[in-house]
Amino acid sequence: MSLAGIGDIIRNAPAGVGAFNVVQLEHAEAIVAGAEAAGTPVVLQISENCVRYHGALAPIAAASLAVARAAAVPVAVHLDHATDRALVEEAIALGVGSVMFDASALPDEENVALTAEVAAHCHAHGLWVEAELGEIGGKDGVHAPGARTRPHEAVNYVARTGVDALAVAVGSSHAMTTRDAVLDLELISALRAAVPVPLVLHGSSGVPDHTLRAAVRHGMKKINIATHLNRTFTGTIRDHLAADARVVDSRVYLSAARTAVATEVTRLLGVLN
Protein backbone atom coordinates (compact mmCIF):
# COMPACT_ATOMS: atom_id res chain seq x y z
CA MET A 1 0.00 0.00 0.00
CA SER A 2 1.03 3.65 0.56
CA LEU A 3 3.29 5.45 -1.97
CA ALA A 4 2.89 3.83 -5.38
CA GLY A 5 3.86 4.40 -8.98
CA ILE A 6 1.14 5.92 -11.13
CA GLY A 7 1.91 3.47 -13.92
CA ASP A 8 1.18 0.53 -11.62
CA ILE A 9 -2.04 2.15 -10.41
CA ILE A 10 -3.26 2.73 -13.96
CA ARG A 11 -2.23 -0.71 -15.22
CA ASN A 12 -4.03 -2.45 -12.34
CA ALA A 13 -7.17 -0.30 -12.32
CA PRO A 14 -10.29 -2.06 -13.63
CA ALA A 15 -11.91 1.26 -14.56
CA GLY A 16 -11.08 4.96 -14.15
CA VAL A 17 -8.32 6.34 -11.91
CA GLY A 18 -9.12 9.51 -9.98
CA ALA A 19 -6.39 12.16 -10.01
CA PHE A 20 -7.14 15.10 -7.71
CA ASN A 21 -5.20 18.32 -7.30
CA VAL A 22 -3.59 19.33 -4.03
CA VAL A 23 -3.43 23.00 -3.02
CA GLN A 24 -2.84 22.80 0.74
CA LEU A 25 -1.96 19.96 3.10
CA GLU A 26 -5.66 19.63 3.94
CA HIS A 27 -6.39 18.73 0.32
CA ALA A 28 -3.86 15.90 0.35
CA GLU A 29 -5.23 14.59 3.63
CA ALA A 30 -8.81 14.80 2.37
CA ILE A 31 -8.10 13.11 -0.96
CA VAL A 32 -6.33 10.19 0.72
CA ALA A 33 -9.03 9.87 3.38
CA GLY A 34 -11.66 9.76 0.63
CA ALA A 35 -9.70 7.11 -1.27
CA GLU A 36 -9.27 5.03 1.88
CA ALA A 37 -13.03 5.16 2.50
CA ALA A 38 -13.59 4.01 -1.08
CA GLY A 39 -10.86 1.35 -0.85
CA THR A 40 -9.44 2.70 -4.11
CA PRO A 41 -5.99 3.90 -5.25
CA VAL A 42 -5.69 7.59 -5.99
CA VAL A 43 -3.34 10.17 -7.50
CA LEU A 44 -2.30 13.37 -5.69
CA GLN A 45 -1.47 16.03 -8.26
CA ILE A 46 0.63 19.14 -7.66
CA SER A 47 0.31 21.70 -10.42
CA GLU A 48 2.86 24.27 -11.47
CA ASN A 49 0.35 26.91 -10.36
CA CYS A 50 0.29 25.29 -6.90
CA VAL A 51 4.09 25.39 -6.79
CA ARG A 52 3.97 29.08 -7.68
CA TYR A 53 1.47 29.67 -4.85
CA HIS A 54 3.75 27.99 -2.28
CA GLY A 55 6.90 29.56 -3.71
CA ALA A 56 8.58 26.18 -4.21
CA LEU A 57 7.76 22.56 -4.93
CA ALA A 58 9.57 21.09 -1.93
CA PRO A 59 7.13 21.97 0.90
CA ILE A 60 3.94 20.75 -0.75
CA ALA A 61 5.68 17.76 -2.37
CA ALA A 62 7.18 16.67 0.94
CA ALA A 63 3.78 16.95 2.62
CA SER A 64 2.01 15.04 -0.16
CA LEU A 65 4.65 12.30 -0.20
CA ALA A 66 4.36 11.93 3.58
CA VAL A 67 0.57 11.62 3.38
CA ALA A 68 0.93 9.09 0.55
CA ARG A 69 3.42 6.94 2.48
CA ALA A 70 1.04 6.75 5.46
CA ALA A 71 -2.01 5.82 3.38
CA ALA A 72 -3.88 2.53 3.60
CA VAL A 73 -4.37 2.46 -0.19
CA PRO A 74 -1.87 2.96 -3.04
CA VAL A 75 -1.27 6.68 -3.62
CA ALA A 76 0.83 8.25 -6.37
CA VAL A 77 2.24 11.79 -6.25
CA HIS A 78 2.30 13.50 -9.63
CA LEU A 79 3.59 16.86 -10.92
CA ASP A 80 0.84 18.36 -13.09
CA HIS A 81 1.12 20.80 -16.02
CA ALA A 82 4.83 21.45 -15.62
CA THR A 83 6.20 23.79 -18.29
CA ASP A 84 9.55 24.48 -16.60
CA ARG A 85 12.38 21.98 -17.09
CA ALA A 86 13.92 23.09 -13.79
CA LEU A 87 10.70 22.15 -12.01
CA VAL A 88 10.84 18.69 -13.55
CA GLU A 89 14.41 18.31 -12.30
CA GLU A 90 13.29 19.35 -8.82
CA ALA A 91 10.46 16.80 -8.89
CA ILE A 92 12.93 14.07 -9.80
CA ALA A 93 15.22 15.05 -6.92
CA LEU A 94 12.35 15.12 -4.41
CA GLY A 95 11.07 11.65 -5.29
CA VAL A 96 7.90 12.58 -7.16
CA GLY A 97 7.04 9.54 -9.26
CA SER A 98 5.51 11.03 -12.38
CA VAL A 99 5.25 14.24 -14.40
CA MET A 100 2.76 15.78 -16.77
CA PHE A 101 4.97 17.90 -19.03
CA ASP A 102 2.92 20.54 -20.80
CA ALA A 103 4.41 21.90 -24.02
CA SER A 104 0.97 22.22 -25.60
CA ALA A 105 1.26 26.00 -26.07
CA LEU A 106 4.25 25.52 -28.39
CA PRO A 107 4.08 24.86 -32.14
CA ASP A 108 3.65 21.14 -32.81
CA GLU A 109 7.25 20.39 -33.83
CA GLU A 110 8.66 22.23 -30.81
CA ASN A 111 6.16 20.42 -28.57
CA VAL A 112 7.29 17.05 -29.95
CA ALA A 113 11.01 17.78 -29.67
CA LEU A 114 10.91 19.20 -26.15
CA THR A 115 8.48 16.57 -24.83
CA ALA A 116 10.59 13.75 -26.28
CA GLU A 117 13.67 15.19 -24.60
CA VAL A 118 11.92 15.53 -21.23
CA ALA A 119 10.35 12.07 -21.50
CA ALA A 120 13.70 10.41 -22.21
CA HIS A 121 15.30 12.21 -19.28
CA CYS A 122 12.44 11.29 -16.92
CA HIS A 123 12.47 7.66 -18.05
CA ALA A 124 16.19 7.50 -17.29
CA HIS A 125 15.28 8.45 -13.72
CA GLY A 126 12.35 6.04 -13.48
CA LEU A 127 9.54 8.59 -13.86
CA TRP A 128 6.29 8.05 -15.78
CA VAL A 129 5.44 10.88 -18.20
CA GLU A 130 2.13 12.33 -19.37
CA ALA A 131 1.83 14.97 -22.07
CA GLU A 132 -0.80 16.95 -23.94
CA LEU A 133 -1.30 17.21 -27.69
CA GLY A 134 -2.84 20.54 -28.64
CA GLU A 135 -4.49 22.71 -26.03
CA ILE A 136 -7.38 21.47 -23.92
CA GLY A 137 -9.93 24.19 -23.27
CA GLY A 138 -10.08 26.64 -20.43
CA LYS A 139 -6.64 26.62 -18.75
CA ASP A 140 -5.93 30.19 -17.64
CA GLY A 141 -8.86 31.28 -19.80
CA VAL A 142 -6.93 31.13 -23.07
CA HIS A 143 -7.94 27.88 -24.77
CA ALA A 144 -10.99 27.07 -26.83
CA PRO A 145 -13.17 24.26 -25.36
CA GLY A 146 -14.06 23.25 -28.92
CA ALA A 147 -10.58 21.84 -29.55
CA ARG A 148 -10.42 18.18 -30.59
CA THR A 149 -7.54 15.70 -30.79
CA ARG A 150 -7.33 13.76 -34.06
CA PRO A 151 -6.53 10.05 -33.60
CA HIS A 152 -3.84 9.85 -36.27
CA GLU A 153 -2.06 12.89 -34.83
CA ALA A 154 -2.23 11.37 -31.35
CA VAL A 155 -0.68 8.12 -32.55
CA ASN A 156 2.13 10.01 -34.27
CA TYR A 157 2.74 12.20 -31.22
CA VAL A 158 3.02 9.24 -28.84
CA ALA A 159 5.38 7.43 -31.22
CA ARG A 160 7.65 10.45 -31.59
CA THR A 161 7.73 11.52 -27.93
CA GLY A 162 7.67 8.17 -26.11
CA VAL A 163 5.25 9.43 -23.45
CA ASP A 164 3.43 7.00 -21.15
CA ALA A 165 0.00 8.67 -21.24
CA LEU A 166 -1.74 11.30 -23.33
CA ALA A 167 -4.15 14.06 -22.36
CA VAL A 168 -6.59 14.56 -25.22
CA ALA A 169 -9.12 17.24 -26.16
CA VAL A 170 -12.60 15.73 -26.39
CA GLY A 171 -14.87 18.54 -25.16
CA SER A 172 -13.87 19.21 -21.56
CA SER A 173 -12.44 22.53 -20.40
CA HIS A 174 -10.18 23.44 -17.49
CA ALA A 175 -11.47 25.45 -14.52
CA MET A 176 -15.19 25.01 -15.19
CA THR A 177 -17.43 25.83 -12.21
CA THR A 178 -20.53 24.26 -13.77
CA ARG A 179 -20.86 20.56 -14.57
CA ASP A 180 -22.42 20.69 -18.03
CA ALA A 181 -19.57 19.86 -20.43
CA VAL A 182 -20.52 17.65 -23.36
CA LEU A 183 -17.88 15.11 -24.35
CA ASP A 184 -17.38 13.53 -27.76
CA LEU A 185 -17.72 9.89 -26.72
CA GLU A 186 -17.25 8.58 -30.25
CA LEU A 187 -13.93 10.41 -30.46
CA ILE A 188 -12.86 8.92 -27.10
CA SER A 189 -13.58 5.44 -28.49
CA ALA A 190 -11.64 6.18 -31.66
CA LEU A 191 -8.68 7.53 -29.69
CA ARG A 192 -8.71 4.53 -27.35
CA ALA A 193 -8.68 2.16 -30.34
CA ALA A 194 -5.77 3.98 -31.98
CA VAL A 195 -3.51 5.27 -29.19
CA PRO A 196 -1.27 2.68 -27.46
CA VAL A 197 -1.02 4.51 -24.10
CA PRO A 198 -3.65 5.41 -21.48
CA LEU A 199 -5.85 8.42 -22.22
CA VAL A 200 -6.23 11.25 -19.71
CA LEU A 201 -9.25 13.52 -19.33
CA HIS A 202 -8.31 17.01 -18.18
CA GLY A 203 -10.95 19.53 -17.12
CA SER A 204 -13.14 16.83 -15.60
CA SER A 205 -14.61 19.19 -12.98
CA GLY A 206 -17.03 20.41 -15.63
CA VAL A 207 -18.20 16.93 -16.61
CA PRO A 208 -21.41 15.56 -15.02
CA ASP A 209 -21.36 12.18 -13.28
CA HIS A 210 -23.16 10.25 -16.00
CA THR A 211 -20.76 11.56 -18.64
CA LEU A 212 -17.73 10.71 -16.50
CA ARG A 213 -19.01 7.14 -16.31
CA ALA A 214 -19.51 7.09 -20.08
CA ALA A 215 -16.05 8.54 -20.70
CA VAL A 216 -14.48 5.74 -18.66
CA ARG A 217 -16.55 3.12 -20.48
CA HIS A 218 -15.41 4.55 -23.82
CA GLY A 219 -11.73 4.44 -22.87
CA MET A 220 -10.62 7.28 -20.61
CA LYS A 221 -8.31 5.96 -17.89
CA LYS A 222 -7.00 8.86 -15.77
CA ILE A 223 -9.56 11.47 -14.75
CA ASN A 224 -8.20 14.82 -13.51
CA ILE A 225 -10.40 16.80 -11.10
CA ALA A 226 -9.37 20.05 -9.40
CA THR A 227 -11.84 22.94 -9.59
CA HIS A 228 -14.80 20.87 -8.40
CA LEU A 229 -13.01 19.97 -5.17
CA ASN A 230 -11.89 23.58 -4.72
CA ARG A 231 -15.52 24.62 -4.94
CA THR A 232 -16.42 22.05 -2.30
CA PHE A 233 -13.56 23.15 -0.05
CA THR A 234 -14.23 26.88 -0.35
CA GLY A 235 -18.01 26.54 -0.21
CA THR A 236 -17.80 24.61 3.04
CA ILE A 237 -15.57 27.25 4.61
CA ARG A 238 -17.87 30.02 3.42
CA ASP A 239 -20.93 28.30 4.88
CA HIS A 240 -19.17 27.51 8.15
CA LEU A 241 -18.04 31.09 8.72
CA ALA A 242 -21.42 32.48 7.72
CA ALA A 243 -23.11 30.22 10.27
CA ASP A 244 -20.84 31.30 13.14
CA ALA A 245 -19.06 34.65 12.91
CA ARG A 246 -17.32 33.97 16.25
CA VAL A 247 -15.04 31.28 14.79
CA VAL A 248 -11.42 32.42 14.64
CA ASP A 249 -9.53 29.12 14.85
CA SER A 250 -8.72 28.12 11.26
CA ARG A 251 -8.59 24.45 12.28
CA VAL A 252 -12.35 24.53 12.84
CA TYR A 253 -13.37 25.53 9.32
CA LEU A 254 -10.46 23.82 7.55
CA SER A 255 -11.40 20.57 9.28
CA ALA A 256 -14.96 20.92 8.02
CA ALA A 257 -13.69 21.62 4.50
CA ARG A 258 -11.32 18.65 4.66
CA THR A 259 -14.17 16.34 5.67
CA ALA A 260 -16.40 17.65 2.88
CA VAL A 261 -13.70 17.09 0.26
CA ALA A 262 -12.98 13.57 1.56
CA THR A 263 -16.68 12.71 1.26
CA GLU A 264 -16.81 14.05 -2.30
CA VAL A 265 -13.64 12.18 -3.30
CA THR A 266 -15.19 8.92 -2.05
CA ARG A 267 -18.31 9.64 -4.08
CA LEU A 268 -16.39 10.55 -7.24
CA LEU A 269 -14.22 7.43 -7.01
CA GLY A 270 -17.45 5.45 -6.89
CA VAL A 271 -18.57 7.20 -10.08
CA LEU A 272 -15.32 6.35 -11.86
CA ASN A 273 -15.40 2.73 -10.73
Residues identified as active-site: 80
Alpha carbon 171 to its chain centroid, in Å, reads 17
Q: Which of 111, 242, 227 is nearest to 178 (CA)?
A: 227
Distance, CA of 96 to CA of 80 (rounded, Å)? 11
Distance, CA of 146 to CA of 161 (rounded, Å)? 25
Tell me how many degrees the CA angle 135-112-53 measures, rounded to the nearest 5.
55
Q: Which of 129, 97, 138 is nearest to 226 (CA)?
A: 138
Q: Are 136 and 146 in contact (CB under 8 A)?
A: no
Cross-strand bridge partners of residue 130: 100, 165
Distance, CA of 7 to CA of 24 (rounded, Å)? 25
Distance, CA of 19 to CA of 70 (rounded, Å)? 18
